[in-house]
Structure 1
Amino acid sequence: MNPILLSRRAFATGVLVSAGAAYAAKSATPTPATIVERIQRTCAERGVEWQKETVDTFKIGPVDTPVTGVISTFMATIAVMRKAVALGASFIVSHEPIFYNHLDDTNALQADPVYQAKVRFATQHGLTVWRFHDHWHKIKPEPMSSASIEELGWARYLDNGSEGFRRTFTRPETTLRAVAEEIANRYPSASVRVIGRPDLPVRRIVNIGHGVNDVVKAFAIGDIAIAPEVREWDSAELTRDVVMLHANKGLILIAHERGEEGGMKLCSEWLTRLVPEVAVVYINSGEPFTALSA
């Protein structure tokens, strides 16, 4: 096995076997604050120092009331909140923001009816939402890409030494169309999009982040790049120009949620061992797009 890629069970277990047993011995039901303290302590044990400047903070709800259940999800949407209430869970660990911007800055949203409805729902049902983004990405092996590799079945293609979120894969020659169809089927996703010749020969694939610089770097070392959520006016248009200049490159675009949902399922398994006193449940927040046939 590639040393940078652990099995799901090995990753989720990590250093938490002894920690879970110790926490289970405690009779008091944990609060959101005590659960976050456990997360911070465990991250430190895995070499991840907690940053002073981070988006990994509480977004809404009480932090010192007993938790009735924990939800792990990509994003705490209204739909996810409703499912949490139906399951009797009061604490949601969300990878992405709940108020529509990276910092969850709500100053411009105070009069917005959607924001007000979300706050009202969370308050009425005693929900607490905490974001787990920056430090979850810093754990090694990087959990989001590790889960994605497992979902796609690409561990055998992973290049030795390739680690972090931006990983590279070398596989027997195939085509851009075939890779895109494979991704669409295995995630699954109804909104996979492609820029480039469908019959483009592909051997080297680069998984990238959201920025145009990532696309440039990927094209320097690979045949195609796979990107979860990029801006069309830079990354997509750059790729179109690359293709028009007859470079044999391609870009596969997937929904941000599809590329990272598996990582939060892995997080639920990680949290189950960290918070043994209550149930921990993963909720799929779902792909935001609907594909309409012509």
Structure 2
Amino acid sequence: MVVGIVPAKASDVLSKDDSLTCREVVEQIKQHVTCSWNEGKTVDTFKAGNPDEKVTGIVTTMFATMDVLREAVKQNCNFIIAHEPLFYNHLDETDFQKNDPVYLEKLKYINDHHLVVWRFHDHWHRTSPDGIYVGMVRKLGWAKYRKGDSYMVFEFPETTLKDLAEHLKQKFPQGVIRVVGDPGMKLTGVALAVGAPGADRQRQLLNRDDVQVVITGEAREWETPEYALDATQQGRSKAFIMMGHVLSEQAGMDYCAEWLGGFISGLPIKFIPNKQPYWTPQ
């Protein structure tokens, strides 16, 4: 059991109920996160489908891509809980897309198969400890290197930037991992900043005395990567690694499926990973 996640009591666990709806599952989630639920300002809302559909099975994922939707149908799971947007923008605004063929085909597939998509982003990050970071730290095997109670800052035995990057590649062999910095740079301090936290947060972490390298999901190339490049060219022991948004958070949605199983029973709960979207010519 991960310290900080409130375990479900036996009385809290739902018994098998064929009439359980997607809306009722969300209400259970609201009761089990450790943070208060912000109804007014959150992207954690239903994005498509009828919330009152009876649940046949639950899928957790990063992005509800077409491949994920098709696999959910194949596995007879109609409730998809996604960490990121369904329709290509943070707020899932669709008015400007109402004539877009890609959006229309995706929406039609969801409706034709009676799927329901709900986003679980803000409160999965806000619960304590952050569910995405818990999953990523477990995937990386870094729990013993946590600095104090942090899930973002780690202290390792001395290694090199090259060896750290190779460790990441071994953990995520399909990933496109990009590194800014001197491969031979020695380091002990690493910060993990998953997803797209923004340049201010990335630089704040990189400027800590106990951090030599920041690992993140993504960044604008003219912001933190260029800053790290200048730091390297000035002879400073600083480096920056981009894993890609999906890889940097995906293990957190794998963990989400396990977490849901702590208080929802009688329904299949499955994690479907996103495939690596990028390829490079050989």
TM over 0.5: yes
Counterpart residue identity of residue 170, structure 1? E
Deviations for 1:126-148, whole angstroms, at most 9, x for unmatched residues?
A: 11000000001111111111111
Matches within 5 A, 1:185-224: 185-209=170-194, 210=196, 211-221=198-208, 222-224=211-213
Instruction: Give the Å deviation of 1:277.
Output: 2.7
Per the alignment, residue 115 of structure 2 pairs with: 127
Listed as ranges, the gaps of 5+ residues in structure 2 are none
Q: Deviations over 1:147-192 (max 9, x none)?
A: 11111111111101324xxx11111111111101101111344301
Answer yes or no: is 1:176 the counterpart of 2:161. yes
What is the CA distance between 1:19 and its match in structure 2? 4.5
Q: Secondary structure of 1:205's partner? A: strand
Q: What code does the residue aligned with 2:91 have?
A: L
Is 1:157–1:171's contact at 8 Å kept on the other side of the alignment?
yes
Q: Which residue of 1 aligns with 2:28?
A: 38
CA drift of 1:206 comes to 1.0
Question: 1-side partners of 2:78 and 2:37: how far apart?
Answer: 27
CA contact (8 A) 1:69 1:278 kept: yes
Q: Secondary structure at the match of 1:243?
A: helix
Matched to 2:140, the amino acid is L
Q: Cα offset for 1:287? A: 2.2
TM-score normalised to structure 1 length = 0.89
Q: Which residue of 1 aligns with 2:137?
A: 149
Moved more, 127-136 or 99-108: 99-108
Separation in 2, partners of 1:66, 1:240:
52
Answer whether contact 2:12 2:263 (CA < 8 A) is retained.
Answer: yes
1:20 CA displacement: 4.7
Cα distance per residue 1:28-85 (max 9 Å; x no partner): 4211111111111222xx2433342100000000111211111111110000000000
Partner of 1:3: none
Offset, 1:207: 1.2
Mapped pair 1:248 → 2:240: no
Which residue of structure 1 lines up, in the alignment, with residue 128 of structure 2? 140
Q: Is residue 217 of structure 2 the alignment partner of residue 228 of structure 1? A: yes
* CA deviation map 1:81-103 (0-9, x unaligned): 00000001111000000111110
Q: Equivalent residue of 1:130, what SS?
A: strand
Aligned equivalents of 1:69, 1:147: Cα separation in 2: 22
Residue of structure 1 equivalent to 2:279? 290
Tell me which amino acid in the other structure corresponds to 2:222: W
Q: What residue is the counterpart of 1:272 in the other structure?
A: 261
Q: How many residues align?
A: 278
- Per the TM alignment, residue 194 of structure 1 is displaced from its structure 2 partner at its CA by 0.3
Which has the larger displacement, 76-85 or 136-145?
Answer: 136-145
Q: 2:81 aligns with which of 61, 77, 93?
A: 93
More helix by share: 1
Q: Secondary structure at the match of 1:233?
A: coil
Q: State yes or no: 1:16 paired with 2:8.
A: yes
Q: CA deviation at 1:106?
A: 1.1
- SS at the partner of 1:281? strand
Residues 1:118 and 2:110 aligned together: no
RMSD: 1.7
**Quick check: 2:199–2:224 contact (8 Å CA) kept in 1?**
yes
TM-score by length of 2: 0.93
Residue 96 (structure 2) aligns with: 108
Q: Secondary structure at the match of 2:182?
A: coil
